[in-house]
């Protein structure tokens, strides 16, 4: 019942020229009259959102922002609001990516506020959670992930969580070439779904839980085979049209 989602996080990469080639390639590669078997989305740098939207508007591919402001509007230099995201037809927003938590000091409280703001505005919040290598090696993976998920389940309103997507991204696997084994991924995904079920059974059944961390064409199918793995959040490999298309195919 859950439609898989494959989303590309382009991070702070690209130029007008490379973004143009990327969206043209995705548009051609995913062109279909019957609708796609998977939902596909891209998260460009905010400055490219209009360019991306202009090309993808006539396709089944969605786009969104990598971050969102907790405030509505006003004196928040450097930030982007949900109203701006919606004005440019964004459908989704990443929240709590590990790079934002680690490099920009984003706390669970910030993450809750962003999920709340985005969800109530009708954007799909893609909540990123995951443990560091040290946390995994000391056996604290589920404590860390549970705390990140519970913060949002307890802090955000049910209305804002109606379309929530969760991305399990072990920090040690992001951009490192290291990937969780299919068993490690499924184990954490199942535990996250269990947490959701304790909160709300319907929510557990409908919420898509993506895996992220060095997913590429060559390993996507075995990771996506997990019963609780509903697609992927893809960084580096999403900048390569062919590899990203292979990953989308592996989820469908």
**Which residues of the chain form contacts with ligand PEP (CB under 6 A)?**
9, 169, 174-175, 212-215, 233-237
Place of tokens 């984003």: 106
Measured between alpha carbons, how far is 219 from 179 in angstroms, rounded to an integer? Answer: 9
Kindly tell me which of 132 and 197 has the beta carbon lying closer to ligand PEP: 132
Q: Cβ–Cβ contacts within 10 Å for residue 181, how many?
A: 11
Kindly tell me which of 153 and 215 has the beta carbon lying closer to ligand PEP: 215
CA dihedral 206, 211, 212, 217 (to 10 degrees): -120
Kindly tell me which of 156 and 173 has the beta carbon lying closer to ligand PEP: 173
Q: Cβ–Cβ contacts within 10 Å for residue 49, how many?
A: 23
Place of tokens 């319907």: 202
In the annotation, is 97 catalytic? yes
State the minimum distance, in angstroms, from the CB of residue 214 to ligand PEP: 4
State the minimum distance, in angstroms, from the CB of residue 192 to ligand PEP: 16
Nearest residue to ligand PEP, by Cβ distance, number only: 235
Q: Which of 99, 106, 131, 169 is catalytic?
A: 169
State the minimum distance, in angstroms, from the CB of residue 178 to ligand PEP: 9
Query: What token pair was written down for 146?
Result: 């549970």
State the minimum distance, in angstroms, from the CB of residue 238 to ligand PEP: 7
Q: Identify any residues that bridge with 40 across adjacent strands, giving them in sequence order.
A: 6, 61
- Among 239, 220, 245, 234, CA closest to 26: 245
In the annotation, is 189 catalytic? no
Kindly tell me which of 31 and 178 has the beta carbon lying closer to ligand PEP: 178
The stretches of the chain forming alpha helices (DSSP H) are 16-29, 49-56, 82-87, 98-104, 108-120, 133-137, 141-155, 182-199, 201-206, 220-224, 241-251
Q: Which of 71, 97, 135, 189 is catalytic?
A: 97
Kindly tell me which of 122 and 175 has the beta carbon lying closer to ligand PEP: 175
State the minimum distance, in angstroms, from the CB of residue 173 to ligand PEP: 6
Q: What is the DSSP letter of 2?
A: P
Is 214 labelled a binding residue? yes
Task: Point out the annotated binding site.
Answer: 9-11, 175, 214, 235-236
Q: Which residues are catalytic?
A: 97, 169
Task: Point out the annotated binding site for substrate.
Answer: 9-11, 175, 214, 235-236
């Amino acid at each position: 019942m859950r439609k898989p989602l494959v989303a590309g996080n382009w991070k702070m990469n690209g130029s007008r020229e490379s973004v143009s080639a990327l969206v043209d390639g995705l548009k051609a590669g995913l062109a279909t009259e019957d609708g796609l078997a998977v939902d596909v989305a891209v998260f460009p740098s905010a400055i490219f959102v209009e360019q991306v939207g202009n090309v993808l508007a006539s396709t089944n591919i969605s786009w969104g922002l990598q971050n969102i402001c907790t405030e509505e509007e006003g004196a928040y230099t450097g930030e982007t609001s949900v109203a701006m995201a919606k004005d440019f037809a964004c459908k989704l927003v990443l929240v709590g990516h590990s790079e934002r938590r680690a490099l920009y000091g984003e706390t669970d409280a910030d993450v809750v506020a962003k999920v709340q703001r985005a969800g109530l505005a009708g954007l799909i919040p893609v909540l990123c959670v995951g443990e560091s290598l040290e946390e995994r090696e000391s056996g604290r993976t589920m404590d860390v992930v549970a705390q990140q998920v519970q913060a949002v389940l307890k802090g955000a309103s049910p209305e804002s969580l109606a379309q929530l997507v969760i991305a399990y991204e072990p920090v040690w696997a992001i951009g490192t070439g290291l990937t969780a084994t299919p068993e490690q991924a499924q184990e954490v995904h199942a535990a996250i779904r269990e947490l959701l079920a304790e909160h709300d059974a319907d929510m557990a059944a409908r919420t898509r839980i993506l895996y992220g961390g060095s997913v590429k064409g060559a390993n996507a199918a075995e990771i996506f085979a997990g019963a609780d793995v509903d697609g992927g959040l893809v960084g580096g490999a999403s900048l390569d049209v062919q590899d990203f298309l292979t990953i989308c195919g592996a989820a469908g």
